[in-house]
Structure 1
Amino acid sequence: MNPLQFYKCLADETRLRSLLLIAQEGELCVCELTEALDVSQPKISRHLAQLRSCGLLQDRRQGQWVFYRINPALPAWAKSVLNETLEANRAFIDDNLRGLCRMGDRPERASLCC
């Protein structure tokens, strides 16, 4: 991944918020991001597809759910940028985290039952 591609992928507010929420939570599904960001499912899915095609996210299927996480193969500099952005700007996603916390019936992760 080159810096131009990385920053172009982050240039949209929905993509940036989604990425920071996923970095914060470890992994999230479309329904969780829809609730947290108060954005339609098709819009979230389109942005997640862009983040996946940029190499920033990976997905995994668990039953009916598709979970997204930060791509572990990201270069160290890209992971560092994401982590520092998250740490220095927690207020940027505070409202989104509150929306996520209010969500009922969140999907369970495989790690919780295995």
Structure 2
Amino acid sequence: MDKLIEKFKALSDETRLRIINLFIKSGQNLCVCELMDALKIPQYAVSKALTILKNADLLTYEKEGTWVYYQLNRAVQENKSIFTFLRNFLTDKPFLEDEERLNQRLLLRENNRCVVGIIPEEDLVKLIKEKIRG
């Protein structure tokens, strides 16, 4: 019962709920820089939220060189029900805007991996426009 309470406490924060939404809707493994750009929040806020979600067994991670990719922890049976429930209710405008920014950011991936890292927003917009054009 304590683990279930911990999961719902982890989901009681707006930033963490927005992050979980991006994992649920994208179905992707995501790195911190991609989440930063999608949510337009600083690295420390994303990292803190990811740690709480990971400690609640909602996320897992894997390292690839200097990159760390997080993903939904579907190994825990109760998570599957939680993720299904959230998928149906996280449909407000802010969640949709986050999803759109993430989808644009994911266009910059190569071989389904982040290669850009953290960059200023104006440079990010230019890179996305170039990728869309050509």
Aligned counterparts of 1:108 and 1:29: Cα–Cα separation in 2? 14
TM-score, structure 2 normalization? 0.71
2:131 corresponding residue in structure 1: none
Aligned counterparts of 1:87 and 1:28: Cα–Cα separation in 2? 21
Aligned counterparts of 2:64 and 2:84: Cα–Cα separation in 1? 26
Aligned counterparts of 1:107 and 1:8: Cα–Cα separation in 2? 35
The correspondence for 1:38, drawn from 37, 40, 53, is 40
SS in 2 for 1:28: coil
**How far apart are residue 73 of structure 1 and its match?**
2.0
1:85 corresponding residue in structure 2: 86
Aligned counterparts of 1:74 and 1:66: Cα–Cα separation in 2? 21
Structure 2: gaps of 5 or more residues: 114-134
**Matched ranges for 1:14-33 at <5 A:** 14-26=15-27, 27-33=29-35
- The verdict on how the C-alpha distance between 1:53 and 1:2 changes in structure 2, with shifts beyond 3 A counting, is closer
% identical equivalent positions = 31
The list of structure 1 runs, each at least 4 consecutive aligned residues, that deviate by more than 2 angstroms after superposition, is 87-92, 101-110
Aligned counterparts of 2:35 and 2:110: Cα–Cα separation in 1? 12
- The verdict on how the C-alpha distance between 1:74 and 1:2 changes in structure 2, with shifts beyond 3 A counting, is same
Higher relative contact order (CA 8 A, sep 6+): 1
1:62 aligns with 2:39: no
Deviates more, 1:30-39 or 1:99-108: 99-108
1:5 aligns with 2:14: no
TM-score, structure 1 normalization? 0.82
**Matched ranges for 1:70-109 at <5 A:** 70-75=72-77, 77-91=78-92, 93-103=95-105, 105-106=108-109, 108-109=111-112
CA offsets per residue over residues 59-114 of structure 1, 9 Å max, x none?
Answer: 01123321111112222x3321222211233335101011113326346436xxxx
Note if contact 1:18-1:33 (Cα within 8 Å) is conserved in structure 2: yes
Note if contact 1:32-1:106 (Cα within 8 Å) is conserved in structure 2: no
Larger Rg: 2
Length, aligned pairs only: 109
Query: What is the aligned-residue RMSD (CA, Å)?
Result: 2.0
